[in-house]
Amino acid sequence: MVQEDVIQDRPLAAGDFAAWLAGMERALDSGGDGQSVVPCGGCTACCTSSQFVHIGPEEAETLARIPSQLLFPAPGLPSGHVLLGYDEHGHCPMLGDGGCSIYEHRPRTCRTYDCRVFPAAGVEVDDEDQLPIARRARRWQFSFPAEVDRIRHTAVRAADRFVREHRDLLAGAGVPTNATQRAVLAVRLHGEFLRHDDRIERSVVVEPEPEAVRVAMTSPLGARGRAG
């Protein structure tokens, strides 16, 4: 048992940070059509962590494969947007013994979900119902082979810290209410925390004005991800 725990907690290679970040931004910018290449292995942590999965009305292939009684209207979104819930154990009802039973047609939310976003932003998953994700997220270890990897990592973490420390000033701009939203928002905002310094010919991390951050937060590319 102890040995199994040690194996389950073994570090996992998350890849070079800047390359991962670029891929994550592409997935977010594509409106969810980009597919994250996440080395999940057999991990089903995000399918067993009491998460509501958003499905858009245009995801016909997915909707056709999920019994309608498992879906309900997504609060705050236009008609046609639905959520897929979870059972009394926190498991997605589409999860079978061999993994996702609709894997080829799984929701866009699932295809783009990447729990490396938590260590990237330095955000701890602190919801008790999401312990499998918390445990998995702690195992990822990014590589920082070049300066750009470290600078971008610093910028993402600075973005999360800024939003936490300026909640009052940013109120009304969509301040995150859960760990997933927090981490995704830090990725989306990190560019606001980078400036090119012509003297040293590289990017440096800076602190922007709250108004610039507010504008970025209210841009059409809102924080995405599963509702925690």
Quote the least distance from Cβ 215 to ligand SF4, whole Å.
33
Quote the least distance from Cβ 138 to ligand SF4, whole Å.
20
> Which has the closest alpha carbon to 57: 69, 46, 73?
73
Residues lying near ligand SF4 in the complex (CB under 6 A) are found at 47, 53, 92, 94-95, 100, 102, 106-107, 110
Quote the least distance from Cβ 86 to ligand SF4, whole Å.
8
Q: Which of the 8 DSSP states describes residue 74?
A: P
Q: How far apart are CA 107 and CA 113, in angstroms?
A: 10
Quote the least distance from Cβ 36 to ligand SF4, whole Å.
12
- Tell me the backbone φ, ψ of residue 151, rounded to 5 degrees: -65, -45
Quote the least distance from Cβ 177 to ligand SF4, whole Å.
20
Residue tagged 């995704």 (tokens): 184
State which residue, 65 or 161, has the beta carbon closest to ligand SF4: 65
State which residue, 63 or 92, has the beta carbon closest to ligand SF4: 92
Exposure of 131 in the CB half-sphere (CA atoms within 13 A): 5
- Tell me the backbone φ, ψ of residue 227, rounded to 5 degrees: -75, 125
Q: Write down the number of H helices and E strands in the chain.
A: 10, 9
State which residue, 94 or 194, has the beta carbon closest to ligand SF4: 94
Q: Which of the 8 DSSP states describes residue 49?
A: S
Helix (H) or strand (E) holding 95: strand 95-96
Residue 4 identity (one-letter amino acid): E
Q: Provide the 10 A C-beta neighbour count for residue 105.
A: 17
State which residue, 97 or 198, has the beta carbon closest to ligand SF4: 97
State which residue, 117 or 217, has the beta carbon closest to ligand SF4: 117
State which residue, 18 or 83, has the beta carbon closest to ligand SF4: 83
Q: How far apart are CA 89 and CA 61, in angstroms?
A: 27
Quote the least distance from Cβ 94 to ligand SF4, whole Å.
4
